[in-house]
Structure 1
Amino acid sequence: MFRGASSISLDAKGRIAIPKRYRLLLCAQNDNQLVVTVDIKSTCLLLYPLDAWQKVEQKLATLSDTQPSERAIKRLLLGYAADVEMDRMGRVLLPPPLRHYAQLDKQLMLVGQLNKFEVWSESNWQQQIADSQTALKAEAFIDNQRLQEFAL
């Protein structure tokens, strides 16, 4: 559903503009309703269409409130989750605590991840790409045949 990386800007009010190619889909399937929360493993935000977020919530509901790691996941993802609406211009307001968490500045990257978007500061995105490339080169289990399966 969502793929590719788009360079976008954060305006003075803390809004981002969703690229046009995604707007009709978000409007038709989710009535412009989205949920934004933190990524618990990276310094970025996760922006879900409402229907995709509801599936995440169902999974979160199955986690234990007595297991510390499961409770921490729920606390972070649900505690930071904010309902946001895409306006007529395709803009979404990112709440200040979330912008702070992800270290967002003026230049951002919106990265499609099938059922959601990641929202990165441009500098954190570039660092993440470099780190990923280094990690992939170091992984012994990735051989030429495996890479060819994914046309890499």
Structure 2
Amino acid sequence: MFMGEFQHNIDTKGRIIVPSKFRDELGENFVVTRGLDKCLFAYPMDEWRNLELKLKKLPLTKKDARAFTRFFFSGAVECEVDKQGRINLPQPLRNYAVLEKECVVIGVSDRIEIWAIDKWEDYFNESEESFAEIAENLMDFDI
């Protein structure tokens, strides 16, 4: 399980350090793709395969299913951590998540997320204000 929040910079070549706490869980190779809320999602290969199987079950006849599947898979790249603990994020993914310098890498149960620090702070502040309401809405799911 991934959890925690770490700040790292992305360099001019698009490389970012993967927190050492996450490296073992991610494995040698893992997948990074466009996430929701203008961040990137990174999945260990076994989680990626599980997600892929679920997305394959979506009906091709549903417009939303086709759109989400295209969005998710077209941005996906397989990554490998280098000897310095970094991964190289392609320019299209950096553009999508507006990753320029300061970033936040967070653990979110079965995945990690990579955020531009300003986007994360905005998201966190907005969510923090409505956290009680969000929690109340999730009570229906036995949380």
TM-score computed with the length of structure 2 as normaliser: 0.89
- Confirm or deny: 8 A CA contact 1:36 1:45 kept in the other structure: yes
Q: Does 1:36 align with 2:32?
A: yes
Q: What is the RMSD of the two structures over their aligned residues, measured on CA atoms?
A: 2.1
Partner residue in 2 for 1:133: 128
Task: Say which structure is richer in strand.
Answer: 2
Q: What are structure 2's unaligned runs of at least 5 residues?
A: none
Shift, 1:141, TM fit: 6.9
Identity %: 35
- Matching of residues 3-152 of structure 1 within 5 Å: 3-26=3-26, 30=27, 32-39=28-35, 41-137=36-132, 139=133, 142=136
TM-score computed with the length of structure 1 as normaliser: 0.84
Whole-angstrom CA distance in 1 between matches of 2:79 and 2:135? 41
Whole-angstrom CA distance in 2 between matches of 1:103 and 1:65? 31
Equivalent residue pairs, number = 140
Cα offsets for 1:92-125 (capped at 9, x unmatched): 1111001000111100000101111010000000
Whole-angstrom CA distance in 1 between matches of 2:34 and 2:18? 18
Whole-angstrom CA distance in 2 between matches of 1:120 and 1:3? 15
The SS at the match of 1:36 is strand
